[in-house]
Amino acid sequence: MSTESLLPKHLDPFRFSEREVHLTGTLPLSGMSRLCQQAGLSQNGSVKVDLQFNLSSHQKIPLLRGHVEATLALECQRCAGPFVYEIMADFLLGVIKTLAQEQDLPHDYEIVLMENKYLVLSELIEDELILNMPMIPKHELGAC
């Protein structure tokens, strides 16, 4: 099952994985306050999101294969001028209810520990963007 453009605010990874849901669409940066505060970036723009849910073959653990694309307007730490940074990142997540299930995940998957029934999609994508941001945003030497 594939859904385009309309992304839900909350995800039920267990139900989505059983149905092998494929979601594509965009999310506004304006809804990602941690990212915007940390990076000092403009809240204009959006993030392209592509998510594919399925179940692990042996343990029936929800797996999420994702791809995000965003162009962020950051502030260069050398010259304080605008700095454009593009993120194109793939990620693999395994959704578990207890830490004991971590051993059942494929080795290349990161864990998401479910505390509630639903995951908040914007928070999940915001985490991936933060992980892919440069530690010190700056132009190349001589480009300032």
CA dist 106 and 53 (Å) reads 15
Residue spans per domain, the chain: 2-131
Neighbours of 124 (CB within 10 A): 20
- Residue 38 has φ and ψ, to the nearest 5°, of -65, -40
Local confidence pLDDT in tens for the 144 residues of the chain: 444 457 899 999 999 999 999 999 999 988 888 887 766 666 678 999 999 999 987 778 999 999 999 998 888 888 888 888 899 999 999 999 888 888 888 889 999 999 888 999 999 999 999 999 888 888 888 778
